[in-house]
Amino acid sequence: MSRKNYLFTSESVSEGHPDKVADYISDSILDRFLSEAPESRVALETLVTTNQVVLAGEVRGPDSIDAKAMEQVARDAVRRIGYEQEGFHWQNMKVDCYVHEQSADIAVGVDAAGNKDEGAGDQGIMFGYATNETEALMPAPIYYAHRILRSLAEARHSGESPELEPDSKSQVTLRYEDGVPVGASSVVVSTQHGAEVSQERVHEIVRAHIEKCLPDGWMCPDEGLYINPTGIFVIGGPDGDAGLTGRKIIVDTYGGAAPHGGGAFSGKDPTKVDRSAAYAARYLAKNVVAAGLAERCTIQLSYAIGVSKPLSLYVDFHQTGEVDAARLEKILKDVMDLSPRGIRQHLALNKPIYARTAAYGHFGRQPEADGGFSWEKTDLVDELKNLF
């Protein structure tokens, strides 16, 4: 029997966190490739540190997107985040590009040829998860940790809170009673700020956003509220700490409330099942919960490089299911083609929709008119209900 009464914590980081700056640059370059050639292949990593950006990886796409073009995309991405600091400035930073052509050996395994369908870009396991704890069918701790930072970022970008700088982190600990979240026991927020801004003013700004983002009655006690607990946060972003693509995969997914296969998302085109199959698994799990077949659902997929069909599909209802999990496993394979090509076509993933995923989570977002966050749709609900 699983525990019913406990504390659970998840963290989030803002778009200005060094690792998220790296993710945003990688996904912005990916979007540039897909906007010019939807079948482009991209696996791009970014490193950021004090006034320095390093791009590396392999691509296959238009010749017009050369090192100079990628450098400009990186500068534009950093400018949009808002970095115009002495230690990290979109105009002054040095950009080194070591991106090269995709390996021919990988291309042979992935490309369709003759009777061979497109294969997975790598081996691996991917997980999707959904729970009815929140309206977005996401675990509550990560949902509210993201929400607080997005609110702070919106206030910074709009000019409402010019005292704030781009780098910030949050951590939310929720109290569960009888398996249901009922309130926060502690909230931690650290946000970069101008040198002239007092900690009292930072506390005033941040507390208002926390209270706005948590449900009524969920605010933690004063002794559980930690705002800039080091006392000062002026030096931040890549000037304060180096950042790398793919180092915040738990922040990107479910905040530790569900398993993670280990593969990062950012900088990878949708032939890479690390990304596309994780989106597909979330899509299926969310539709299962939205259809009322379970209160919680974890789905695991596995793939082999160069092989089109998944090697396995596993469903876990965490003792909340209303239907037979083994039967659902068979049905899901019929409801959706889970080959790399099938996933990309079903979710329309060959679009420049990825830079927006780089911060505040890849899941629990609203589907957008241009195809962004298509994996958050619940358009399988009626079909799943009918099949059961």
The residue extents of the domains of the chain are 6-13+140-236, 124-132+272-387
Active site members: 17, 19-20, 45, 58, 169, 233, 241-242, 247-248, 268, 272, 274
Q: Of residues 148 and 114, which shows the higher confidence score?
A: 148
Find out whether 248 is annotated in a ligand binding site: yes
Tell me what percent of the residues of the chain surpass a pLDDT of 70. 96
Find out whether 241 is annotated in a ligand binding site: yes
Find out whether 45 is annotated in a ligand binding site: yes
Q: For 243-280, what is each residue's pLDDT tens digit?
A: 999 999 999 999 999 999 999 999 999 999 999 999 99
**What's the CATH number for 6-13+140-236?**
3.30.300.10
Burial class (CB in 10 A: 0-12, 13-18, 19+), 9: middle
d(CA 168, CA 173): 17
How wide is the angle at C-alpha 98 spanned by C-alphas 109 and 83, nearest 5°? 120
* β-pairing verdict for 94-101 and 52-60: parallel
**Is-contact 191 159, C-beta < 8 A?**
no
Find out whether 160 is annotated in a ligand binding site: no
Task: State the DSSP code for 5.
Answer: S
Question: To the nearest whole number, what is the mean pLDDT of the chain?
Answer: 95
**Is-contact 260 298, C-beta < 8 A?**
no
Find out whether 167 is annotated in a ligand binding site: yes
Find out whether 268 is annotated in a ligand binding site: yes
Find out whether 146 is annotated in a ligand binding site: no
Whether residue 344 is predicted with pLDDT greater than 80 in this model: the reply is: yes
Element (H, E) at 62: none
What pLDDT sits at residue 130?
98
Q: For 283-299, what is each residue's pLDDT tens digit?
A: 999 999 999 999 999 99
Q: For 21-49, what is each residue's pLDDT tens digit?
A: 999 999 999 999 999 999 999 999 999 99
Give the full edge-to-edge strand order of the sheet including 41-49: 94-101, 52-60, 41-49, 243-244
Q: Give the closest residue to 126 by CA, choosing from 252, 18, 42.
A: 252
Do 6-13+140-236 and 124-132+272-387 have matching folds?
yes
At 1, is the pLDDT very low, low, confident or very high (cuts 50, 70, 90)?
very low
Find out whether 111 is annotated in a ligand binding site: no
d(CA 67, CA 95): 9
What pLDDT sits at residue 348?
98
Find out whether 319 is annotated in a ligand binding site: no
CA distances from 182 to 134, 251, 319 (A): 12, 22, 21
pTM > 0.75: yes
Q: Read out DSSP for 135-178?
A: TTSS-HHHHHHHHHHHHHHHHHHHTS-TTEEEEEEEEEEEEEET
What pLDDT sits at residue 122?
81
Find out whether 351 is annotated in a ligand binding site: no
What pLDDT sits at residue 102?
85
Q: For 298-309, what is each residue's pLDDT tens digit?
A: 999 999 988 899
How wide is the angle at C-alpha 275 spanned by C-alphas 359 and 124, nearest 5°? 130
What average pLDDT does this structure show over 189-202?
97
Find out whether 168 is annotated in a ligand binding site: yes
d(CA 175, CA 170): 17
What would the two tokens of residue 344 be?
Answer: 């990309």
d(CA 371, CA 388): 29
Q: How many residues does this entry show for the chain? A: 388
Give the distance, in angstroms, between the CA of residue 304 and the centroid of all CA atoms in the same chain: 23
What average pLDDT does this structure show over 164-193?
98
Q: For 88-134, what is each residue's pLDDT tens digit?
A: 999 999 999 999 998 766 655 566 655 556 778 788 999 999 999 99
CATH of 124-132+272-387, one of 3.20.20.70, 3.40.50.720, 3.30.300.10, 3.40.720.10: 3.30.300.10
* β-pairing verdict for 164-177 and 180-193: antiparallel
What pLDDT sits at residue 112?
60
